[in-house]
Amino acid sequence: MINYSIIIPHKNIPLLLQRCLDSIPRREDMQIIVVDDNSDTNKVDFAAFPGLNDPFVEVIFGKNEDGRKGAGYARNLGMERAKGKWLVFADADDYFMPCFNEALDKYKEDENEIIYFYVTSVNSDTLAPCDRDITRNTQLDIIQKTNNWDIVYYVYSPWGKFIKRELVVKNTILFQEVQYANDAFFSMNVAYNTTQRMISNYKIYCITFRSDSLEQVATVDSKIIRFHVFYDIVNFFKSSGKNEYLISYTIILWLSILRNDKKKALQLFGKLVKTCGIAPVLKYSIVYFIRLKITVPLKSFLLKTPQTTPE
């Protein structure tokens, strides 16, 4: 019986993918799925692709799947092939901690539908500790202290979780096939569809910092893609009463676009107001500009393109 399916999307970082695979225990009750997202032949030796000759690893080359691409698609493809009771997601540049195997043993028969884990973080090159784990761990700390489970809606990275595959299949939950923030809607939708959840104190996963990772990209176009993702999420949660943070984040994204490309921001303004409401847009705009310590009149800011680089 397969208890766990580990799904790892990959693009152009074979050495880091091998590090990730090396951190995963080989078990008879585990299925390891690597989905390559159309890697560059100049960066990857496909004849020696990580996991290709490993009997515990199933390698899927996404470029052969109808021309679709992106980490969201790679994860969806991995879920199509998954057989395990639990889904476990990893990024190819991250890795699992030694206690992972112990957690696998402990929770394989657990009745919950989602188990949230604490994480740690390091610089990918130097392995020096960094601060990427602080937000996730603080969120879990607050939930444990206050029992406010609404906070899980903002724990939207898929790693550091065990998710029952039946929960995902029953509710037809998929990753969005977009270049950025493909995992946000998936994680929030999973959290929305269950109250059978728990937090484990195991730190099973290490997230890494790389300056060239997609998460560090902050161009106007990347922000627009993220804006559309959170626009969809706000609409999904509109009647749930869990919208305040999502609305504020969507507005802040829009204001960040406005700082760098007013034309594109104004094209999105109608959608923003329709979904978030004019009062919240005004409220968070004022807060945003105050925090930026704007020293010129707002009218001048809007009429003159600021000479700033994209965030």
DSSP states of 164-225: EHHHHHHTT-----SSSSTTHHHHHHHHHT---EEEEEEEEEEEEE-TTSGGG---HHHHHH
More confident residue, 199 or 308: 199
- What does the pLDDT look like over 205-253, one tens digit per residue? 999 998 777 666 578 888 888 888 888 888 887 766 666 667 887 888 8
Tell me the average pLDDT of the chain. Answer: 87
> Under the phi-then-psi rule, with left for phi > 0, alpha for psi from -120 to 50, and beta for the rest, what region is 274?
alpha
* 152 and 289 both lie in a single domain: no
Tally of structural domains, the chain: 2
pLDDT score at 251: 87
**What string of DSSP letters covers 95-113?**
EE-TTHHHHHHHHTT---S
* 108 and 227 both lie in a single domain: no
pLDDT score at 214: 61
* 74 and 163 both lie in a single domain: yes
* 90 and 141 both lie in a single domain: yes
Is 309 part of a structural domain of the chain? no
187, 212, 237: which is the final residue of a domain? 212
For residue 125, give both structure tokens. 């090159």
Reference 123, options 211, 14, 52, 46; nearest CA is 211
Is 311 part of a structural domain of the chain? no
- What does the pLDDT look like over 162-204, one tens digit per residue? 999 999 999 999 998 888 888 888 998 999 999 999 999 999 9
65: pLDDT strictly greater than 60: no
Which band of pLDDT confidence, cut at 50, 70 and 90, is reported for residue 66?
Answer: low
* 225 and 177 both lie in a single domain: no
Percent above pLDDT 70 for the chain: 87
212, 240, 273: which is the final residue of a domain? 212
Range of the domain at 284: 218-303
- Neighbour count for residue 88 (Cβ, 10 Å): 29
Quick one: average pLDDT of 276-290?
84
* 259 and 147 both lie in a single domain: no
212, 243, 268: which is the final residue of a domain? 212
- DSSP summary character for residue 86: E
* 186 and 234 both lie in a single domain: no
Note whether 20 and 38 are within 8 A (CB): no
For residue 311, give both structure tokens. 């965030």
- What does the pLDDT look like over 138-169, one tens digit per residue? 999 999 999 999 888 888 899 999 999 999 99
pLDDT score at 70: 84
